[in-house]
Amino acid sequence: MQKLTCLLLLLFSATPALAHPFDDLSATEVAAAVKVLHDSGRFSDEVRFPVVKRQEPKKREWLAGTIQSQNQRQAFLVVFDFKTSMLSEVVVDLNRKQILSTKELPGLKPPLLLEEYDRARVIARADARWQNAMKRRGFTNLEEVFLDMWAPGLIGRDEVKPGQRLLRGVSYKKEGKNVYGRPIDGVIVTVDLSTKKVVSVWDQDSPPVAAGSKNLGLEGRQPDPPLKRLESKMPEGASFKIEGQEISWSHWKFRYSMDPMQGLQLFHVRFADSEKERSIIYKIALADMLVPYGDGDKTWSFRSAFDVGEYGLGKTLHPLTGGQDVPSYATLLDTVIADDLGHEALVIKGLAVYERDGGILWKHRNSENGDVDMRRNRQLVIGYLTTIGNYDYGVNYIFSLDGSIRVDVQLTGMLLAKGTAVERNVCADGCLPLVEKNVLAPPHQHFFNFRIDFDIDGADGNRAAETNVHAIPRGPKNPDGNAFELVNTVLLSEKKAVRDLDFKSARKWKVFNTNSRNALNHPRGYALFPEESAFPYLAPANQMRQRARFIEHQAWFTVYKDDEMNAAHQYPTTAPAGGGLPQYVANDESLAGADVVMWYTFGVTHVPHPEEWPIMNTHHTGFVLVPMNFFSENPGMSVPE
């Protein structure tokens, strides 16, 4: 899928001179890591570096204080050799300037590289079959055609060959800013970059290309009367402090990191309670995504994108603009971006931190005398925006004074369109997702999986539980039929902790620490409150579903492992079925008193409509992490008037 960003690049946050082990690589460190590999002589002169990032310290070593130096720095590189088609993972000691380990991964493929899009387009455009398909549709000037390149998605048995590197091209007529507005349907060109040849051209009957696509601006539209100016200001400056990559605000403190694949990650989330910093989360990150499309046509059925594993949320991040993407007073943080050659390191304002009003925190009006007690909420937001093909995503972590953390995922951008001969809806129930004359927008789903490594007052003694609300059967405990109760079920092992949503029972999940109790003797914990979600419509045997089985259940709990960071396989394009979470829980380890990690999958089922054309208004989805007996009273009681 074509990345509509300035560069398809790797991303890291800028670091101070003496970097913390969890700080991202600096531009100097990126260059040093790449130089160590080149100087080693182990790789050809045609290597690329789709991932270069800080090697995360091992958790147990960090918690035990056995990391030898606060300035101990290691780099992790994903290396792809075009000459041998070999994918490798390499760890470099930046202090000693030497390779610590190399792991070859035969048969697996890296995330897509920027140059591969251009290479594939050149090969596809030179193919007579594709040219003829365009000419039959009236395109004699092939410069009018834009080729959007995708990872292969669903791969047919006849396409499987050793060493191949497949990309598929979807054609559009170039017109204005909406490059996705005029699809040229019925043609898919598949390129094998390893042989530099076109493998196939699917060419079938197709409807006419839409006569024109709607503009994104005011051209041809009557502008609305302008609203009065609205300003948000912080005349006294921000209340938060940033030291290196650690942010402190009110009672909250955490570290941030920008990963080239998973995007923004937060580490060591703590809350200062009575001047004592108490741990809540060791690490939280968007571990995986899958976006499958629901059109059964052969030219559409392959379209299922692993946005994290194949494209990278950090690699497609783009600069933010105050007053547009974020409030004008937001603090924009620099990020270091290295290209796939490891030659450049650029700094952009790719991450925003800001405070905002959060509405009423709590309030009560005494109806007898009219007295009012209330406090307003304040929120701290840290987030970024990324563009993957036609979609633009935002990911924000929102901290509140009530001790909650909201994870807010934003979806906007352009619908993926399909040509049709239909100009007006002819179905009484609106069954055709017609968004413009001769343009359909097929239904699709977005699945997100967040990995949440809870450390409630430490990593030890943590347990996972599910809560359900049930009506009490009519009888002595419920004579009038009004009573219901909360049932708390401790999840004993990994397989038993693979769970599904149940809105009828107000189902939630929590992690609590049996070794830490509040003043009322409740074990301290945090609960996940679900919001919107989706269930997959991909058939169980569908190849993409088999590679992304994290979408089959909403809640998973595992015992912590250093190498279990992705919900699907880390390299999903050619990975075998069943990787990721199903593999992690296969041994059914006990969760009793373990270092528990929660994985939460939620989704959006998107059936488009005309109000989302030619561009979608932002749709918000996500979940909330809420303190559950973590405190002994409302933490908002100490908020000043």
Beta bridge partners of 397: 382, 407
Q: Report how far residue 25's alpha carbon sits from residue 244's, in angstroms, rounded to the nearest whole number.
A: 12
Q: Report how far residue 262's alpha carbon sits from residue 238's, in angstroms, rounded to the nearest whole number.
A: 28
Tens digits of per-residue pLDDT, 511-552?
999 999 999 999 999 999 999 999 999 999 999 999 999 999
CATH 3.10.450.40 positions along the chain are: 17-104, 114-203
Tens digits of per-residue pLDDT, 80-96?
999 999 999 999 999 99
Q: Report how far residue 243's alpha carbon sits from residue 235's, in angstroms, rounded to the nearest whole number.
A: 22
DSSP SS3 for 91: strand
Residue 608: CB partners within 8 Å, gap ≥ 6? 415, 433, 435, 441, 442, 443
**Cα–Cα nearest to 12, from 76, 62, 63:** 76
Phi, psi of 134 (to 5 degrees): -70, -40
CATH 2.70.98.20 positions along the chain are: 244-414+444-606+615-638
Question: What pLDDT score was predicted for residue 430?
Answer: 58
Question: What pLDDT score was predicted for residue 157?
Answer: 80
Q: Report how far residue 334's alpha carbon sits from residue 223's, in angstroms, rounded to the nearest whole number.
A: 36
The residue assigned the tokens 């996705």 is 180
Report residue 430 as tokens: 């609106």
DSSP string, 595-610: -EEEEEEEEEEE---G
Looking at 3.40.50.300, 3.30.1660.40, 3.30.420.40, 3.10.450.40, the CATH number of the domain 114-203 comes to 3.10.450.40
Assign a CATH topology to domain 17-104: Nuclear Transport Factor 2; Chain: A, (3.10.450)
Q: Where are the alpha helices (DSSP H) in 423-478?
A: none
Residue 626: CB partners within 8 Å, gap ≥ 6? 403, 404, 526, 527, 528, 529
Helix (H) or strand (E) holding 135: helix 128-136
Q: Report how far residue 532's alpha carbon sits from residue 621's, in angstroms, rounded to the nearest whole number.
A: 6
For residue 120, with 0-12 CB atoms within 10 Å meaning exposed, 13-18 middle and 19 or more buried, which class applies? buried
Which portions of the chain are predicted below pLDDT 70?
1-18, 68-71, 213, 218, 428-430
Tens digits of per-residue pLDDT, 37-75?
999 999 999 999 999 999 999 999 999 988 756 668 999
Q: Report how far residue 563's alpha carbon sits from residue 548's, in angstroms, rounded to the nearest whole number.
A: 18
Percent of residues in the chain assigned helix, strand, coil, to nearest 5: 15, 40, 45
**Cα–Cα nearest to 82, from 115, 37, 122:** 115
The residue assigned the tokens 């002169």 is 45
How would you classify the pairing of strands 405-413 and 418-419?
Answer: unpaired
Looking at 3.90.1150.10, 2.170.190.11, 2.70.98.20, 3.40.720.10, the CATH number of the domain 244-414+444-606+615-638 comes to 2.70.98.20
DSSP letter for 390, please: T
Sign of CA dihedral 210, 212, 213, 214: negative
**Cα–Cα nearest to 581, from 562, 598, 605, 604:** 598
Q: In this structure, which amino acid lies at residue 7? A: L
Neighbours of 342 (CB within 10 A): 21
Q: Report how far residue 509's alpha carbon sits from residue 464's, in angstroms, rounded to the nearest whole number.
A: 7
For residue 351, with 0-12 CB atoms within 10 Å meaning exposed, 13-18 middle and 19 or more buried, which class applies? buried
Tens digits of per-residue pLDDT, 189-207?
999 999 999 999 999 988 8
Question: What pLDDT score was predicted for residue 472?
Answer: 98
Report residue 16 as tokens: 């101070």
The pTM (predicted TM-score) of the whole model is: 0.95
Question: What pLDDT score was predicted for residue 5?
Answer: 39
Q: Report how far residue 612's alpha carbon sits from residue 608's, in angstroms, rounded to the nearest whole number.
A: 7
Question: What pLDDT score was predicted for residue 421?
Answer: 87
Compute the chain's Rg from CA coordinates: 26
Tens digits of per-residue pLDDT, 273-303?
877 899 999 999 999 999 999 999 999 999 9
Q: Report how far residue 19's alpha carbon sits from residue 11's, in angstroms, rounded to the nearest whole number.
A: 17
Neighbours of 35 (CB within 10 A): 13
Residue 597: CB partners within 8 Å, gap ≥ 6? 451, 452, 453, 454, 557, 558, 559, 560, 564
